[in-house]
Structure 1
Amino acid sequence: MKALRFYGNRDVRVDDNVPEPVISKPTDVLIAPQWCGICGSDLHEFLGGPTFCPTHPHSLTADKIPVVLGHEFSGIVLAVGSEVSEIVVGDKVCVEATQRCEECANCRSGRTNCCVYGPAFYGLTGLGGGLAEKVVIPVSHVFKLPSDLPVAYGALVEPLSVAWHAVELSGFKPGMTALVLGSGPIGIATILCLQAMGAKTIIVSEPAVGRRKQAEEFDVDFVINPFEEDVVAKVKEILKGEGAERSYDCSGIQATFQASVAALAAGGIAMNIALWEKPTQYNPMDTLVRERVIMGSIGYTGRDFAAVIAAIADGRLKGFEKMITARIPMEDTVSVGYDGLINNKEKHIKILCTPFPELLK
């Protein structure tokens, strides 16, 4: 079959002779991925990797590069194993991409995203991914989409689940105030989840003019240009002298980390969602004198996928379809998709790729 595979740093290729996956376990589901989003982690892997893509047999998957890419995907069920009853052939589904052992203390407690053998994901660490004509996934990772939801929108459930997990983990409650630092794809997803959870005020800090306009299109309350205004002072001005009750760093640089803490009210929580390329500096006094808390959030669990799908179905999550800014064939993933997100990122939020070019007609 045809699939997009990672071979190494800046070496991603479409191969025509990848072995087709087959159902080997009674709990397997065979899926034809129709749409797959390009994630920031894909770009990090391409530009600076391999990081997640294993150069030696992975402890969970036993795979090593070249591996099939794509972990934000949705598709149509082609076949199911003998013990699968909740999913049937023809269903529209999305995939919770976290790979885990199911046996360590973290997995047993429900923190499957923190498996001691991870982080690991379908579409990064082996066993197939969404940028292929077929993939086999355990039914425990497969989530049925609402019947009236276009399959393409199902590819957004994964990035929305990243944000949902972070917002819920931060203890966010309806009526709270929030600061979001960075309005790239995960920043936008965080805005949408905050809105769905009843935020009173959402303030966004974003230096890029194009991304500030994108944030405004998602109806946030205030957008700050950190190059022109002091983020901490502006947040306190907007909130009548108080800091934000929660902050979400979706950028991962020194300036956003510092602002995410300093802009908090007493007892506030700064949630880091960003991937970091290097360590940052931290002064413990910034948390001590106001009893603030710094937390981190990685990925999602199946509960987050179920919650996001429910919020889409009942209308709490609104406007997420505007995240899609381009749809392209899988063959153009690097030349158009990666290039657009690296060199023209202010134009794009989420680029979807498909192994089936007829879907673009």
Structure 2
Amino acid sequence: MKALRYYGNRDVRLDDNVSEPAISEPTDVLLAPQWCGICGSDLHEYFDGPTVCPTHPHPLTSETLPVVLGHEFSAIVLAVGASVPNVKVGDRVCVEAMQRCSKCVNCLSGHTNLCVLGPAAYGLTGLGGGLAEKVVVPFNQVYKLPDNLPIEYGALVEPIAVAWHAVELSGIKPGMTALVLGAGPIGIAVIICLQAMGAKTVIVSEPATARRKQAENFDVDYALNPMEVDVISKVKEIVNGEGVDRTYDCSGVQATFQASIDALAASGVAMNIATWTKPALYNPTHALNRERVLMASCAYISRDFNAVLKAIEDGRLKGLDKMVTAKIPMKNTVSVGFDGLINHKDKHIKILCSPIT
């Protein structure tokens, strides 16, 4: 079969002789990926890696380079094992990509995103991925799509689940105020999750004009340019003079990290979602003086997928169609997709690739 595989730094190849996966366990589901999103993790691996992609046999998958890419994907069910209870042949589905051992203390306590043998995910650490013609996944990581969701937008469920997990973990409540730092793909996903959970006021800070306009398309209450205004002062002016209830750092740079703390009201929560490539400077007094809380969020768990799909089905999660800024064939993933997100990132939120076109 054809599959897009990662061999190493800046070395991704479309191979046409990859062995086809097959059902080997009664709980397996054989899928035909239809659409797959390009994630920032894919870009990090391509330009800076390998970091997550294994150069030695991975403790969960036993695989090493090359590995199939693609962890944000929707698919059609081709076949099911004898003990699969939740999907049938022909169903349209999305996939919870995070792999787990299901035996460690974290997995057994429900924190499968923090498996001690991780981080690991389909499309990064082996056992196939969404940028291939076929993949096998355990039934409990496969979810039927709502009837009102076109299959291409099913590829957005995974990145939205990342945002949903972070927003819920932060303890957001209806009527609260929030500041989102960065209006890239995850920032946009955080915006729509905040709206779905009833946030009263959503403020976005984004220096890039095009991305700021993208945020405005999602009906944020205020879109600020940190190059032109003092974000902290403006946020306090917008809300109650003290600060917002929650902040979400989706950029991962020193300026946004500091702003995520300083923009908080007393007892507020600063949630870090960004992946950092170098340490940040931090003075704990900025948190101590107002009893502010600094938290971090990693990926998602099964509950987040169920919550996102329900919120899509009942209409609380809106604007998924506006998140997709390009659809391309799998063969153009690097030349058009990676290039577009790196060199023309102001024009894109999410680029979807298809193994069937």
* TM-score tier (shorter): over 0.9
How far apart are the structure 1 equivalents of 2:315 and 2:103? 36
Counterpart of 2:265 in structure 1 is 265
Question: Residue 306 of structure 1 aligns with which residue?
Answer: 306
Secondary structure of 1:178 counterpart: strand
CA apart distance, 1:37: 0.1
Structure 2 counterpart of 1:300, one-letter code: Y
Q: CA deviation at 1:81?
A: 0.3
| Aligned match of 1:173 | 173
Give the match for residue 107 of structure 2: 107
State the Cα distance separating 1:339 from its structure 2 match: 0.1
Q: Which residue of 1 aligns with 2:85?
A: 85
Report the Cα distance in structure 1 between the residues aligned to 2:211 and 2:146, rounded to whole angstroms. 30
Specify the alignment match of 1:256 in structure 2. 256
String of CA shifts for 1:224-277, please: whole Å, max 9, x gaps: 100111111110011131201000000000000000000000000000000111
Matched, 1:44 2:17: no
Q: Which residue of 2 aligns with 1:341?
A: 341
Aligned to 2:134: 134
Question: What SS class does the counterpart of residue 156 from structure 1 fall into?
Answer: helix
TM-align CA RMSD: 0.5
Query: Which residue in the other structure is 2:32 paired with?
Result: 32
CA distance in 2, matches of 1:133, 1:195: 36
Corresponding letter in the other structure for 1:135: V
Question: Hey, what's the Cα distance between the residues in 2 that align with 1:39 and 1:353?
Answer: 11
- SS of the counterpart of 2:346? coil
Q: CA deviation at 1:331?
A: 0.2
Q: For residue 203 of structure 1, what is the aligned residue in structure 2? A: 203
Matches within 5 A, 1:1-361: 1-357=1-357
Deviation of the 1:50 alpha carbon: 0.3
Q: Work out the CA distance in 1 between the residues paired with 2:118 and 2:202.
A: 33
Inter-partner Cα distance in structure 2 for 1:149 and 1:267:
38
Distance 1:273 1:56 in 2: 28
Look up the equivalent residue of 1:227 and give its one-letter code. M
Q: Aligned-pair distance for 1:119? A: 1.2
The one-letter code matched in structure 1 to 2:89 is: V
Report the TM-score, using the length of structure 2 for normalisation. 0.99
Q: Which amino acid aligns with 1:103?
A: K
**Distance (Å, rounded) in 2 between the aligned partners of 1:147 and 1:293:** 40
Once residues 277 and 230 of structure 2 are traced to their aligned partners in structure 1, the CA distance between those partners, rounded to angstroms, is: 25
Calculate the TM-score normalised by the size of structure 1. 0.98
| Structure 2 residue identity aligned to 1:271 | M
Identity of aligned pairs, percent? Answer: 73
How far, CA to CA, are the matches of 1:256 and 1:321 in structure 2?
A: 28
Please state how far the C-alpha of 1:320 moved relative to its aligned partner: 1.6
The offset of 1:149, in angstroms, is 1.7
* Cα deviation digits, residues 169-207 of structure 1 (max 9, x gap): 001101000000000000000000000000100000000
**Structure 2 gap ranges (5+):** none
C-alpha separation in 2, matches of 1:90 and 1:147: 13
The DSSP-based 3-state class of the residue aligned with 2:325 is strand
Is the partner of 2:14 in helix, strand or coil? strand
Letter in 1 for 2:32: A
Hey, what's the Cα distance between the residues in 2 that align with 1:78 and 1:100? 23
Which amino acid letter does the alignment assign opposite residue 18 of structure 1?
V
Q: Distance in 2 between matches of 1:319 and 1:227?
A: 28
SS of 2:345 mapped into structure 1:
coil
The residue type paired with residue 122 of structure 1 is: Y
Separation in 2 of the partners of 1:148 and 1:319?
Answer: 13
Matches of 1:85 and 1:262 in 2, distance apart? 49
CA distance in 2, matches of 1:117, 1:70: 20
Amino acid at match of 2:302: G
Q: Give ranges in structure 1 of 5+ residues lacking alignment.
A: none
**AA in 1 matched with 2:110:** G
- C-alpha distance in 1, partners of 2:31/2:312? 22
Q: Which amino acid is the alignment partner of residue 93 of structure 1?
A: V
Secondary structure of the equivalent of 2:236? Answer: helix
* Bigger mean CA offset, 314-323 vs 250-259: 314-323
